[in-house]
Amino acid sequence: MTLSMDTRLVHPPNPNGDARPFGALTPPLFQTSTFYFDSAEQGGARFAGRESGFIYSRLGNPTTQLLEAAVADLEGAEMGLSFASGMAAISAVLIGLVRAGDHVVVSRGVYGCTYGLLCLLQSKFNVQFTLCDLHDEAAVSRAMRPNTTVVYVETPANPTMELVDLEACANAAHACGARLVVDNTFATPILQRPIEFGADVVVHSATKYLGGHGDVILGLAVGPKSLLDEIRVSPQKDIGGIAAPFDAWLVLRGLKTLSLRMDRHVASAMEIAGRLSRHPAVAAVYYPGLPDYPQRSLYLRQMNGAGGVMSFVVRGGMDAGIRFMNGLELCTRAVSLGETHTLVEHPASMTHSAVPPEARREMGIEDGLIRLSVGLEDVDDIWADLNQSLCSLAL
């Protein structure tokens, strides 16, 4: 039977026949560090790979394996790996794909810590990277070098909401023998499935929409089994940034309502974006769902919805951005996104403050830029708070 996405969220695949013992409807939490062997021979066979089974939770756990299979299924991938955070997933994937002397092409609007990781790889391990506007295949091809091994993109980008043409990136990367890695945190597999456009690996900060309740930090990477196995046996196992079973259990719980939550996030965000675009204190709104969004045709081709995150620029620069943040009463001043609460942050003074000003400008991050993650509160209550703080800027 072919099941829809909504049904698969409630009924994820079960890679282990004994992962739901005693008829438990909800998979139990396997909160154990290690697993016993029936004999020394069995232990040896498992370590040698001759027999399947669990050894030690850093190497695999029934709860984390259920989550990995569920997200791989939603993204249309062969295999998944779970990690202690989104950055642990990104780090393991990049470390697994590059060597000293390699080059990485990066979409220009990336998360500040991803930028920091790339800087670390460049300064300590001679892995070069270039921030690029990857708006079409020609632009991607121009950015490629003979030593480029990875094209790494976020789409929508954090925090500018700029889109990257995934099919164009895949074509250009594969023509040069490189891999395409896509951070799909903002869209989730509900709104965008990069593997369908040629991506090799998809990463998620499951802290955001997949978990959805602001109570867990966890990362995921999905892709072809041959490649994920290489990452599993070295960067994941040896560096050790693995997901805890309890955190994986929380994300499994969150996945069951992902589709319902995304419907509400998208509907409310669309309404808020339209109202912001008409406010005199707002100079610009960046949200793919708006009819006048510059990349409208790409959005319609690549995504099933615009998501719950947007950015907008308040008039008055850095000072106005900070005053707007301080004037909020209902919306929560906090980093992160994709949970029940509406979260607002000021990238220039918060998430991207470590990025040099010239690099921020290259990424399209203005001093008055505000990132807004629309939560599940009543949309009119969200707007009332945003509006009163915006109006106070003119006083």
Out of 236, 255, 274, a domain closes at 255
Out of 201, 224, 255, a domain closes at 255
Indicate whether 6 belongs to any domain: no
Active site residue 237: no
Q: Which of 46, 111, 179, 193 is catalytic?
A: 111
Active site residue 293: no
Alpha helices in the chain (DSSP H): 5-10, 40-48, 62-75, 86-97, 112-125, 137-143, 166-175, 188-191, 225-231, 245-255, 258-277, 296-302, 317-326, 357-363, 379-392
Place of tokens 């992160």: 336
Report which of 273, 236, 281 is spatially closest to residue 395, judged by C-alpha positions.
281
Largest pairwise CA distance in the chain = 77
Q: Which of 46, 179, 208, 371 is catalytic?
A: 208
Active site residue 115: no
* Whether residue 266 is found in the same domain as residue 250: no
In angstroms, rounded to a whole number, what is the distance separating the alpha carbons of residues 370 and 346?
5
Out of 255, 277, 299, a domain closes at 255
Q: Which of 73, 165, 183, 367 is catalytic?
A: 183
* Whether residue 221 is found in the same domain as residue 275: no
Per-residue pLDDT of the chain (395 residues; tens, 9 = 90+): 789 999 999 989 888 766 567 778 888 899 999 999 999 999 999 999 999 999 899 999 999 999 999 999 999 999 999 999 999 999 999 999 999 999 999 998 788 889 899 999 999 999 999 998 887 888 889 999 999 999 999 999 988 899 999 999 999 999 999 999 999 999 999 999 999 999 999 999 999 999 999 999 999 999 999 999 999 999 999 999 999 999 999 999 999 999 999 999 999 999 999 999 999 999 999 999 999 999 999 999 999 999 999 999 999 999 999 999 999 999 999 999 999 999 999 998 887 777 788 888 877 888 999 999 999 999 999 999 999 999 999 75
Active site residue 183: yes
**Chain centroid offset of residue 117 CA:** 15
Sequence-separated (6 or more) residues with CB below 8 Å from residue 128 = 102, 103, 104, 122, 147
* Whether residue 21 is found in the same domain as residue 156: yes
Q: Which of 58, 253, 264, 296 is catalytic?
A: 58
